[in-house]
Amino acid sequence: MAEAAADLRPSPEPVRPAPKPVLAGVPAADPPAADTTEPAPAAAPQPTPGSGGSFIVVRDRFTIFCDRPIPSLDMPNALAFEVADRKQEGRPLYALVCKPEMPARISVMRALKGLEIPAVLHMVDWGVAEWPPVDRKCVIVIYHRPLGGRVMESMSGQFKRIPDHLFARSVIKPIADGLVELGQKGIAHRAIRPDNLYYMDEQRTKMVLGDCVTAVPGNDQPVVLETIESGSCTPSARGSGTYADDMYAFGASVLMLAIGRNPMQGVPDIEIIRRKIQTGSYGALVGDERMPVSLIECLRGMLTDDPDQRWAATNIDLWLNGKRLTPIQAKGESQAQRPFRFAEQEFHSIRPLSYAMYQHWDKASQVINDGSLEVWIRRGHELNDLADGIATAIKSTGAMAGNKADADDVIVARVLMMLDQRMPIRWRDFRVFVEGFGQALAVAMLRKQKLQPFTDFINRELWRHWVLAQTKHLPDNQQYENVFKDLKNYLRDPNSGAGIERCVYELNEWQPCMSPLIEAQYVMEVKGVLPALESVSKTANTKLWPVDRHVAAFLRARYAKGTGTQIDSMNDSRPDRATIGMLSVLAIVQRRLGPELLHGLAMWVGGLMWPVINSYQNRNKSKELEKEIPKLIRKGSLAELFIYLDNPEERQKDAEGFAWAKAEYAAAEKQIYDLEHGQMDRQDSAIKTGRQAGTVVATVIMFLTILVTLVAKLL
């Protein structure tokens, strides 16, 4: 499955005007504008004095000017625009409009809205609104505007370094406290870098952390600011991260602020990771730079590569109060006396070798399968358990049926997991942390990228091998077991409501529906599906079902108890029952969640009911349905349309009548056949017919006689 599973029905074309009525007599109705997408959509803009230009109003309060961008405040996945607050004129605000191809951190927005956390940019509000420049709805985040601008304009630029005496109390202390408060709310910032630090005041004395919600966690972070493990991962698959990850990024940022530039500008990402592995993060980042003596101890603490030893806010407080802490010494790796030669290099320790093997994947397969790696680990490091694990991986994977190249890839991936447990799962170019898998899948689907690596990750149970390779017990192990078992079952199911589409919605709580029909409406909740379909009913291709694979999967993931049975019916192999099933999905949602009137959608769905109409054998009944359906469509109620079309009594009556008609037809056919082939004596047939006729005549005469007698007595 290289791409998202093909729809059972034709995929929708780009939205364009299409002929509406399919059934004769259906009126062309103007569907009412409605959208209950959470949060509230943009209100109709009201001109403000002197504003001019194009603008929208969010939450009936914030006027966002579409023609007044602020490039200096743009984020990698969001563009900045000027904002006016109708309730507090002159309040310095700006808006970040998120790009549609990158999921926003909705759960973090909900937690941060209105909170004022020290040293963190204050989020005033957020919403989903129609954004005219792209003709679709987008997530819009409104912040207090930092009047002093960015601390560092770009990661590739240089700036005047911050004086040493200002670091401790003006930079390190306030931001460390801000990270603590975020951590207490269960939030990792995951976007700490010099060009995302701002001065709130024009005097440039108060520094704050910038936006952290316009992209998935860690996605916008340069490799130089990420830990060895996170930097080795695909950016969108880094996962939510932890407080320790934020402290590392903060430490790397402080180091850059202290020297006035990025010390690894121009160095390839692969080389940055290699240097960090070889000499440790602090040594790799500092290099030949002269660091302020007062900061060395703090930077070493924040940049240690062992997350358990990395400094936290308590360590920083002790350091600020003059307590000298024991310098953190990086735990050295086991060194083999005899080097292992690989890819024209010699390695004495395991972690650098593991990274080199990932870079030279095909060569890694050779040294694993020929047993030389196992022997070196067993003899050079005396790690018999690790060597046994490698041998088991080779044996068990090699016994699997399938392509040898695929088996070799699985073996290399499993061995790399065992050699370096903290690294992400690596499958050739696919690098992902288990906790970041869902976010990476959403990004890949939004960007129309190939999904084969994601299906392989699930079907080949790479996540399970990673869990088994961990020497430390992880509390989420059982949770992963349950989640990925379900995902594998979804992939096996070819029906609507399952497949890779179901996986993405199960893994991402706030992922809006990605159906091409309503993607531009940014529907995050089930109650917004029908209004969104209603709003596109005028321009959609009405030959297509409004419930495509994405809509079905979205409903199944978000509203399984309400729509599960109906979606199962929609997958019926009989066209009429499948069509009724599709109607029942929409009808149950309308009945339970509203809205009451859906004229445009009712017209769309009504035009798709021909399989149901044609399934009736009685011609008079079919004509009756053609006549009544337009009347029901005018009411805008899908529930009434469903009840009328899915009438069990009418179905049974039609079936019984059809069975009786077939029996009569068969009897007549047999009689004709017998006559034509001489199997019935013509004289006997005539006598039989005469007797039947005589019986009928006698019966009529009897009734007439009785009637005459009664009349005579009455007179």
Tell me the pLDDT tens digit for each residue of 373-421. Answer: 999 999 999 999 999 999 999 988 876 656 777 889 999 999 999 999 9
What lies within 8 Å, CB to CB, of 390 at 6+ separation is: 368, 373, 374, 377, 415, 418
Cα angle value 419/424/429 (rounded, 5°) = 100
Q: Return the residue matching tokens 């990771």.
A: 273
* d(C-alpha 628, C-alpha 378), whole Å: 80
pLDDT for the residue numbered 555: 97
| Residue 529: DSSP 8-state | H
| Confidence label for 674 from pLDDT (cuts 50, 70 and 90) | low
Q: Please state, in angstroms and as integers, the Cα–Cα distance from residue 462 to each residue in 238, 409, 484, 493, 703, following that order.
A: 16, 11, 10, 20, 88
pLDDT of the residue at 26: 34
Tens of pLDDT, residue by residue over 508-553, are 999 999 999 999 999 999 999 999 999 999 999 999 999 999 999 9
For residues 596 and 592, what is the distance between their CA atoms, to the nearest angstrom? Answer: 10
In terms of C-beta density within 10 A (0-12 exposed, 13-18 middle, 19 or more buried), how is residue 363 classed?
middle
**In the predicted model, what is the mean pLDDT of residues 334-350?**
93
> SS3 for 506?
helix
Q: Work out the mean pLDDT of the chain and round it to a whole number.
A: 86
Given a cut of 50, whether residue 51 has pLDDT beyond it is no
- CA pair distance 112, 509, nearest whole angstrom: 17
Tell me which range, 19-33, 456-470, 692-706, is most confidently predicted by mean pLDDT.
Answer: 456-470
Q: Which alpha helices (H) appear in 232-309, and where do they start and end?
A: 243-259, 269-279, 281-286, 293-302
Assess whether pLDDT exceeds 80 at residue 650: no
Higher pLDDT, 681 or 227: 227
- Dump pLDDT digits (tens) for 128-161: 999 999 999 999 999 999 999 999 999 988 888 8
> What does the pLDDT read at residue 76?
97
pLDDT band at 707 (very low <50, low <70, confident <90, very high): confident
Contact 175, 118 (CB under 8 A): no
pLDDT of residue 397: 83
Residues in the chain: 715
What lies within 8 Å, CB to CB, of 284 at 6+ separation is: 264, 272, 275, 276, 278
Look at residue 569 in the predicted model and tell me its pLDDT.
Answer: 93
pLDDT at 660: 63
CA angle 61, 63, 67 (to 5 degrees): 170
pLDDT of 123 above 90: yes
pLDDT band at 282 (very low <50, low <70, confident <90, very high): very high
Q: Is the pLDDT of residue 44 over 90?
A: no
Q: Which residue has the higher pLDDT, 651 or 215?
A: 215
- Predicted TM-score (pTM) of the model is 0.84
The strand pair at 340-342 and 345-347 is best described as antiparallel
Residue 10 has pLDDT above 50, yes or no: no
pLDDT category, 25, cuts 50, 70, 90?
very low
Q: DSSP label at 334?
A: P
Confidence at residue 712, expressed as pLDDT on a 0 to 100 scale: 72
CA distances from 212 to 76, 103, 153, 191, 372 (A): 11, 12, 17, 6, 46
DSSP-derived letter for residue 261 is: B
Query: pLDDT tens digits, residue range 350-366?
Result: 999 999 999 999 999 99
- pLDDT score for 677: 67
**The pLDDT of residue 161:** 82
Nearest to 231 by CA among 193, 195, 286, 187: 193
pLDDT of residue 9: 34
Q: What is the mean pLDDT of residues 680-690?
A: 62
Query: In sequence order, what are the beta bridge partners of 149?
Result: 199
Q: How many angstroms separate the CA atoms of 481 and 463, rounded?
A: 9
pLDDT value of position 440: 98
pLDDT, tens digit (0-9, with 9 covering 90-100), for 653-666? 766 665 665 566 56
What's the confidence (pLDDT) of residue 14? Answer: 33
Terminal C-alpha separation, the chain: 91
Task: Please state whether beta strands 430-432 and 425-427 pair in parallel, antiparallel, or not at all (unpaired).
Answer: antiparallel
Give me the domains of the chain, ranges plus CATH numbers.
Answer: 150-320 (1.10.510.10), 505-652 (no CATH)
Q: What is the pLDDT of residue 471?
A: 76
Q: Angle CA(116)–CA(117)–CA(121) in degrees, nearest 5?
A: 80
* Cα distance between residue 696 and residue 689, in whole Å: 11
Instruction: Tell me the two tokens of residue 347.
Output: 């390695």
Residues 562-577 have a mean pLDDT of 92
Distance separating alpha carbons of residues 145 and 114, to the nearest angstrom? 14
Give the pLDDT confidence of 190-218 residue by residue, as tens digits.
999 999 999 999 999 999 999 999 999 99
Rounded Cα gap, residues 644 and 639, in angstroms:
9
Indicate whether 682 pLDDT > 70.
no
